[in-house]
Amino acid sequence: MLLGKMTTMVHQLLQTQIQPGQVFIDGTVGNGYDTLFLAQCIGPQGKVFGFDIQKKALIEAELRLKKEGAMGQAIFIHDCHSKLDQYVKEPIDGAMFNLGYLPKGDPRMITTPQTTLVALEKCISLLKPGGVITIVSYYGHKGGEEEKNAVDEYVKKLDERTITVGCLSFNNRKQNPPILYIIEKKKNRKRSNKE
Ligand SMILES: C[S@@+](CC[C@H](N)C(=O)[O-])C[C@H]1O[C@@H](n2cnc3c(N)ncnc32)[C@H](O)[C@@H]1O
């Protein structure tokens, strides 16, 4: 099935892009499914920085990665993703954000537009040309709609000369189906001798 779970589709899309040895950020680690995916794609030579404000989530995620032998390339940070520049000092090949709250966790611990937009801005400035940021927006919960609108407005304003933004939504699914935003930084154009 091509149009299945949004999180699976994101993995399928990114798989075509990620290379061993690359550097990624997981802005919302949660149970660590996305971090594990990234860690496996980039391999032992790569690096994935994972952020979450919930210690419980990071402990769960660390167990998951250890079990799969992928913890060597992961760095977990118990802090807000809006402060990511304090920890990530190198250019990145990409980032993932899976917004909302931890499934089966505390529904009050939601991502918010205030920190999400700051984190996105910081990821974009660290992003290498050709790099990609994916954002899956869940908005059925209280505060979710506000965040979805803020992300939507934000990505629409990104400069099309340097960044391409794509969006994927399930147009006939009921009950607030997730939306995927893809932000891609354009590769630097080679100047020809005639320019
Ligand atoms: C939808 S879950 C992420 C699911 C995860 N990607 C996975 O594979 O299981 C969202 C997570 O974002 C975290 N979160 C909320 N606000 C945050 C913030 N400001 N900085 C970092 N993480 C945050 C929550 O604690 C929650 O674990």
Cα 91 to ligand 1 centre (Å):
22
- DSSP-H helix ranges across the chain: 6-15, 33-42, 55-67, 113-126, 144-156
Q: How confident is the model at residue 194 (pLDDT cuts 50, 70, 90)?
A: low
Provide the mean pLDDT of the chain: 95
Cα 101 to ligand 1 centre (Å):
6
Per residue in 34-58, pLDDT (tens digit) is 999 999 999 999 999 999 999 999 9
**Minimal-distance CA residue to ligand 1 atom 12:** 28
Q: Which of 40, 52, 59 to mutate to test the pocket of ligand 1 (most atoms within 8 A of CB)?
A: 52
Q: Which of 6, 9, 28 to mutate to test the pocket of ligand 1 (most atoms within 8 A of CB)?
A: 28
In the chain, domain spans: 20-185
Give pLDDT, residue 188. 79
Per residue in 61-97, pLDDT (tens digit) is 999 999 999 999 999 999 999 999 999 999 999 999 9
Contacts of 126 (CB under 8 A, 6+ apart): 25, 85, 88, 90, 91, 92
Per residue in 126-177, pLDDT (tens digit) is 999 999 999 999 999 989 999 999 999 999 999 999 999 999 999 999 999 9
DSSP state of 190: P
Class of domain 20-185: alpha beta
Tokens coding 104: 């089966």
Greater confidence (192 vs 37) lies with 37
The answer to whether the CB of 75 falls within 8 A of the CB of 47 is yes
C-alpha span between 51 and 48 (Å, rounded): 10
pLDDT at 189 over 80: no
**Minimal-distance CA residue to ligand 1 atom 18:** 80
Give pLDDT, residue 195. 54
Residues lining ligand 1, CB < 6 A?
A: 28, 30-34, 51-54, 57, 80-81, 98, 100-102, 109, 111, 115
